[in-house]
Chains A and B, each alone.
Chain A
């Protein structure tokens, strides 16, 4: 029998807290200086530039630009596309991460690699791909027309709001699953198996056992997905042509900027400032979720 005398488990953990010391000496200060300088030039100044340019012509022009009909319509389309993309991709993310982390099957690695494809594909290609399917010369266009005839509807899948939604879904497709998979992988299957042994049903297992583990990662993925969704430009640009109808905010910025007059450029920056605000809100949310998630681990 050995005597275990328990004293504060502190000293050995003390060192880990040492991570992140005050920079001492020439090299650390230099590194910090270079880092901060790069950070300011590349990330902070552009933000300041947007604000400065948007307010150049005074608050009145700013207000008018934001309240313009086109802007409001773009805001509406942006919100619709973002919300649907988040819902669809969250659903996909949950399904994909469940089957990829809780089971073993052949082709698992291939599937998990394939899911990440939209990350490495140019957004322009995403837009183009939908044009190839549903566009004027797309192979699915005749079928869509037949369905429309049959139902008496007039649904178009490109150059329309559904097209914008589809393009947005494409570029944000893996965001949620990518955040969930590592967390669910690390958690393993033991707890779920225990729950099944105790007679729990699938939905109960998910709600009571899995969900508490992944809720922060899920929220994190949703936030990233939303951030990318409302800001997508290239993919949406390819499938959206009607300003004031199917334009999203980033497209509206482009249209205003490309109009070229000093006034419209200021308006472009005014609308941009709205998007910047949205991005900052997203970043703050992300930071909060990250912090809470880490604290709970």
Chain B
């Protein structure tokens, strides 16, 4: 493990920002700290950086406990949420700042800054001031400034929050590529699940100061361990009193379950393709149809609960009030804080994936 947080606790007054946070990150990985606002993810990042001191626990970097090492000596690059570029310094001076502080020779500073300006693609803008740059360009400067002293670990606090939605996606790809190119272990904080899923190798989900789950995006998507994660990741609707669905006899009546649109198959009764699945399906009535750009979102009333499903535009058209067959492949059952996956027992032996 390259970076380790060992049983970290942190309170602000009576607000618990970190409760027994414990995780490790391998060298070279790009990790997202994901959680809703106020979950404590930024505090965790700041404790790794040394900008905040934990009440108890150890921060370990490269096998060394760094609790007492000041932020400036931990060998960390940090990109702040609003970039915190020095307004009274040019792009060049901003990037050179960390090198000048270290009394690097002029020649070397020139070389390194030039290299970084090229890397982030800001040639010709060295003499500009931060106020003259676009949001994306500022992010590039912040990135270059953080990398200038050649840190071993890069931390980014909400790196895309200050950028227009339009440019954000482009910058995500850019940052991912850059980090891969530099090959630096990186941790970034975000509240946007799409961002985490698209950019990160691994995701750590934080909620109310607790670590909910850590894993690759696919793991987290497919196997949410807690009630919070199952709701936070992906699109999901919570059904409070789930009962009497075929194939889910094991689930007690009035349990709370989560159903994602992709768990649901909706088909007309004369559909030959799904004939074999008819015994496993329920009947429902369409109550709402919304056009979502590239597909339809259907809301159906089934057994007294409303279920959301997606339908490709290539399939036969449907209308409100129409009776449809509804098949649930699987659901997540919520028990206290945990989420458990249940598959439709009537589909055993049926080759669902061939459909």
Residues of A bordering B, CB below 8 Å: 1-12, 14, 17
Contact = CB atoms under 8 A, between A and B. Distances in A.
Contact of A5 (B12, B15, B36, B192): B36
26 contacts: A1-B235, A2-B193, A2-B194, A2-B235, A3-B231, A5-B207, A5-B228, A5-B231, A6-B36, A7-B36, A7-B207, A8-B15, A8-B38, A9-B37, A9-B38, A10-B15, A11-B15, A11-B37, A11-B42, A12-B37, A12-B38, A12-B42, A14-B12, A14-B15, A14-B17, A17-B12
B37 A7 contact: yes
B208 interface: yes
Judged by DSSP, the binding face of B is mixed
For chain B, give the interface size range: 20 to 34
Contact of A7 (B39, B42, B231): B39
B236 interface: yes
Nearest to A7: B38
A132 B38 CA distance: 66
A17 B36 CA distance: 21
Nearest to A17: B12
B299 interface: no
Contacts of B208: 7
B44 to A, nearest CB: 10
B129 interface: no
Given A11-B12, A11-B15, A11-B38, A5 B43 contact: no
A3 B38 contact: no
Given A5-B231, A5-B232, A10 B36 contact: no
A10 B231 contact: no
A5 B231 CA distance: 9
B36 A11 contact: no
Contacts of A14: 12, 15, 17
A174 B292 CA distance: 59
A13 to B, nearest CB: 9
Given A5-B36, A6-B36, A11 B232 contact: no
Contacts of B36: 4-7
B236 A3 contact: yes
Query: Which of B36, B192, B193 neighbours the largest number of chain A CB atoms within 10 Å of its CB?
Result: B36
Interface in B172-228: 192-194, 207-208, 228
Contacts of A5: 36, 207, 228, 231-232
A14 B39 CA distance: 12
B40 interface: yes
A213 to B, nearest CB: 28
Contacts of B235: 1-3
Contact of B43 (A1, A2, A11): A11
Contacts of A17: 12
A64 B188 CA distance: 75
Contacts of A10: 12, 15, 38
